């Protein structure tokens, strides 16, 4: 796995203590890896260990020598499927369905964290955030307080200029505490920006519906159309649920749509300070076409 060489820590690393790039989390969140071929002989100049060694160190099982093209065709025919890796003949009596678990509660931070100093105060509700969201907000002049998905924000909301609800895994309807928090924030007219799962949570808090997609969006080249300007942006995405754009309540409007399948990719309120996007404006990985969304959000709440 490529990893940049370590020099002196940057001011942000000293203050924030986040994992160094290119990592967006402090651990692997995968349950398993399936690949057609694996090579132990890595050659990238910054590589320290192989993919297999990295997975083994994190306790993540992997399977190689699989016809992944045939597997992809099966998924393409039937939609997203449950799967499992069987090792040495050991079998599980049932498939684990992650859609029945509150995955947000499993991956969210357990404590309040603070990053940056002296900027516009922003609370980031951690539903499984990517660290580049914090890096970008700090770089753009924010003082970021990261809160767990179910944290009581009554005090923090009084101290902040705006709230960002992060990305995260699983069915958004299971993150009931975050949905309830978003409703409270809207009643208090606190500015909110939702990202990915945060987009779905904001929609549910507003009264819209979400649904499980037959085929999720898993790529960093998803084209999205801005409903205002008609401009198409290349975006980074990784989600299996979507907002039903037909269910938007009065006062809300579609901001972005996916140019491939027409699904909803963004919402905003016509008069309130609330907006959200299904894609990742912080990229990491992916194109940086939509970084301006974070910039404009901070500019409006300063």
pLDDT (0 to 100) of residue 26 = 82
Q: What is the pLDDT of residue 154?
A: 86
Q: Would you say residue 1 lies in a domain?
A: no
| Domain endpoint, select from 95, 120, 144 | 95
Planar angle of CA 173, 179, 180, nearest 5 degrees: 130
52 within a domain of the structure (yes/no): yes
The least confident of 77-86, 153-162, 231-240, 256-265 is 77-86
Asked whether residue 60 falls in the same domain as residue 121, the answer is no
Same domain, 69 and 126: no
**Residue 243 within a domain:** yes
What residues pair up with 253 in beta bridges, in sequence order?
A: 268
Residue 5 lies in a domain: no
pLDDT of residue 212: 96
pLDDT of 155 higher than 70: yes
In this predicted model, what pLDDT tens digit does every residue of 274-300 receive, in sequence order?
999 999 999 998 999 999 999 999 999
Say yes or no: 85 and 110 in one domain: no
Question: Domain count of the chain?
Answer: 2
Tell me what pLDDT residue 1 has. 30
> How far lies 29's CA from each of 33, 136, 208, in Å?
11, 22, 29
pLDDT at 27: 83
Question: 220 with 115, same domain?
Answer: yes
Among 89-93, 213-217, 261-265, which is the least confidently predicted range? 89-93
Q: How far apart are CA 169 and CA 207, in angstroms?
A: 21
Q: Is 253 helix (H, G, I), strand (E, B) or coil?
A: strand
* pLDDT for 66: 94
Residues 91 and 195 both lie in one domain: no
Percent of the chain beyond pLDDT 90? 72
In a shared domain, residues 210 and 139? yes
CB 136 within 8 A of CB 149: no
Residue 6 is predicted with a pLDDT of: 28
**Mean pLDDT along residues 202-206:** 98
Are residues 233 and 274 located together in one domain of the fold? yes
Q: Which residues pair with 266 in a beta bridge?
A: 256, 277
Mean pLDDT of 211-215: 94
Q: Is residue 170 in a domain? A: yes
Sign of CA dihedral 232, 235, 238, 243: negative
Q: What is the pLDDT of residue 20?
A: 66
> Quick check: is 189 in a domain?
yes
Do the domain assignments include residue 205?
yes
Is residue 71 located within the same domain as residue 179? no
Nearest C-alpha neighbor of 126 from the set 141, 140, 110: 110
Question: Structure tokens of 90?
Answer: 């050991």
- Which pLDDT value is given to residue 201? 98
178 and 289 fall within a common domain: yes
Q: How confident is the model at residue 10 (pLDDT cuts 50, 70, 90)?
A: very low
Of 53, 72, 95, the last residue of a domain is: 95
| Domain co-membership, 145 together with 55 | no
Are residues 191 and 300 in contact, defined by beta-carbon separation less than 8 angstroms?
A: yes
Task: Give residue for tokens 């269910």.
Answer: 247
- Per-residue pLDDT of 17-72, as tens digits, reads 676 667 888 888 888 999 999 988 889 898 888 999 999 999 999 999 999 999 99
Which pLDDT does position 23 carry in this prediction? 81
Structural domain that includes position 242: 103-301
φ and ψ at residue 284, rounded to 5 degrees: 60, 70
Q: Give 101-114 pLDDT, tens digit per residue.
A: 999 999 999 999 99
Q: How far apart are CA 209 and CA 103, in angstroms?
A: 19
Which pLDDT value is given to residue 92? 66
pLDDT digits (tens, 9 = 90+) for 126-146: 999 999 999 999 999 999 999
Q: Which of 50, 76, 95 is the last residue of a domain?
A: 95
In the three-class reduction of DSSP (H, G, I as helix; E, B as strand; rest coil), residue 56 is classed as: helix
Inform me whether the pLDDT recorded for 210 exceeds 70: yes
Asked if the model's pLDDT at residue 4 lies above 60, the reply is: no
Catalytic residues: 196, 280, 282
6 lies in some domain: no
Angle, CA of 210, 194 and 280, to the nearest 5° = 95
Contacts (Cβ under 8 Å, ≥6 apart) of 207: 247, 249
What per-residue confidence (pLDDT) applies to 13? 37
The reply to whether 150 and 281 lie within a common domain is: yes
Q: What pLDDT score does 19 carry?
A: 66
Question: Where residue 148 sits, what CATH number does that domain have?
Answer: 3.40.50.880
Q: Is the pLDDT of residue 151 over 70?
A: yes
Is the same domain home to 30 and 172? no
């Amino acid at each position: 796995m490529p990893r940049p060489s370590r020099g002196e820590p940057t001011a942000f690393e000293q203050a924030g203590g986040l994992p160094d790039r290119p990592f967006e989390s402090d651990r692997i969140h995968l349950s398993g890896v399936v690949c057609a071929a694996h090579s132990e002989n890595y050659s990238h100049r910054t590589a320290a260990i192989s993919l297999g060694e990295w997975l083994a160190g994190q306790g993540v099982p992997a399977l190689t020598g699989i016809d992944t093209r045939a597997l992809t065709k099966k998924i393409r025919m039937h939609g997203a499927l449950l799967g499992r890796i069987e090792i040495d003949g050991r079998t599980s009596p049932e498939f684990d369905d992650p859609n029945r678990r509150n995955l947000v509660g499993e991956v969210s931070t357990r404590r309040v964290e603070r990053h940056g100093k002296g900027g516009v105060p922003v609370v980031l509700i951690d539903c499984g955030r990517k660290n580049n969201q914090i890096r970008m907000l700090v770089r753009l002049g924010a003082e970021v307080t990261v809160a767990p998905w179910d944290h009581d924000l009554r005090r923090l909301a009084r101290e902040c200029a705006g709230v960002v609800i992060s990305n995260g895994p699983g069915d958004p309807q299971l993150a009931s505490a975050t949905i309830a928090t978003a409703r409270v924030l809207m009643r208090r007219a606190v500015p909110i920006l939702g990202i990915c799962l945060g987009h779905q949570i904001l929609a549910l808090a507003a009264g819209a519906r979400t649904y499980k997609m037959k085929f999720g969006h898993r790529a960093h080249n998803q084209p999205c159309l801005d409903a205002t300007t008609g401009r198409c942006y290349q975006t980074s995405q990784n989600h299996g649920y979507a907002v039903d754009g037909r269910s938007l309540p009065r006062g809300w409007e579609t901001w972005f749509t996916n140019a491939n399948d027409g699904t909803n990719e963004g919402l905003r309120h016509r008069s309130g300070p609330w907006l959200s996007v299904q894609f990742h404006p912080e990229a990491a990985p992916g194109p940086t076409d939509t970084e301006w969304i974070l910039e404009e959000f901070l500019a409006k709440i300063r």
